Amino acid sequence: MKKKIAILSLHLGYGGVEKAITSLANSLAKTNKYEIEIVSIYKLYEKPVFDINENIRVTYLLPSRLNPNRKEWKEALHNLKLIKLGKESLKSLKILYKRRKEMIDYIKNTKADVIISTRVFLNELLSEYGRDETLKIGWEHNHHHNDMKYATDVIRSVKNLDYFVLVSKDLKKFYKKKLANSKCHTIYIPNALENIPKTKSPLTSEHLISVGRLSPEKGYLDLLKIYLDLKNKKCKWHLDIVGDGSERRKLEKFIKDNNLEADVTLHGFKNSKEIEKLMHKASIYVMTSYTESFGIVLLEAMSNGLPCIAFDSAEGAKEVITSGRDGYLIKHRNFNAMEKKILDLTKDINIRKELGKNGRRKVKGYLSDNICTYWEKIIERK
């Protein structure tokens, strides 16, 4: 009889956590050893954003009418619509109550042999309501970035779980020390790359590319400032930014205010195949994130043969990039140093090709089939 594995998710929309969840589920399903269920609280879209193996069961705990209403609540507050604000506040409380109740009910009643949790509040519920015979695993995707309040919340949420999986060696070292006196075992398993494209970028097109959520921690306003300086230094390369989020209007304003409409394209959300096409048209990948737990997008860029440049403030970038071999890590968020490395790469295709070749070779070790074996060892308690 196959073991049943349940993976708890907030939603199955756009996001690095959601991509990692579907990738792991697909890998485990491919082994044909397990019965896999993804349990999503919210149903944001008619179907999951990322492709999911047809043998995986997807369960939504809340109907679409109870999706998060943060945007509506903020608009009512901003416009001082007090009646609407009251209604949205009540709806928000109802949603929070329902999501907690439905998840508790699921955890209490599921016959899953293994439950994998992917958020702090889900860790807490799994710790409190998971059955003794269930193997309980926490999976952390965020770097604490020296926010000790967040780190303390994480530690408290997982100390009664069986395993705690970290996506970086740095995080594993940190949490192992903090959880030394608990029953929870810390394990390092990096995020996985589902496949390596058969073809790669020829690195001849004068395009820079960056992919991610348009939110403050991703540093896209910094990227535009760096790009503006590059343009002022007579760099004629185009910048493609793929993704969407709360910062989009701010980025659009910067682009317009600095007459960059012809030089920068905000592509919005794109699926994996569309991103791959854009990466094949690019020759350098640039990451300006303030923080990253792992940086799966760097693996994707490397798999397409792109040299990668990132600030080392993005902790996950240090996990992926070997500076000088497959890309460059820029210290102290030094804009001038970042600009110089980009300019150097724009002028030398041979260096681009050497870095890209090394990166494409490196990512083979991160393929999902290889990473899945580490998960199987935990699941089988080996």
- Do 219 and 290 form a contact (C-beta atoms < 8 A)? yes
- Give 10-residue mean pLDDT values along the chain (382 residues): 95 90 96 97 94 96 91 86 90 95 98 97 98 97 90 97 95 96 95 93 98 94 98 96 94 98 96 94 97 88 98 90 97 96 97 98 93 96 79
Rounded Cα distance between 214 and 141, Å, is 18
CA–CA gap between residue 7 and residue 112 (Å, rounded): 10
What's residue 10's pLDDT? 97
What is the Cα–Cα distance from 171 to 176, expressed in whole angstroms? 8
In the sheet that 207-211 helps form, which strands lie side by side, from edge to edge?
264-268, 238-242, 207-211, 284-287, 308-311, 327-330
Question: Which domains, from first to last, does the chain contain?
Answer: 3-192+367-379 (3.40.50.2000), 207-366 (3.40.50.2000)
Contact partners, residue 20, CB within 8 Å, separation at least 6 = 141, 167, 191, 192, 296
The predicted pLDDT at position 24 comes to: 96
Helices 248-257 and 220-232, axial angle in degrees (round to 10): 20
Q: How far apart are the first and last CA of the chain?
A: 19
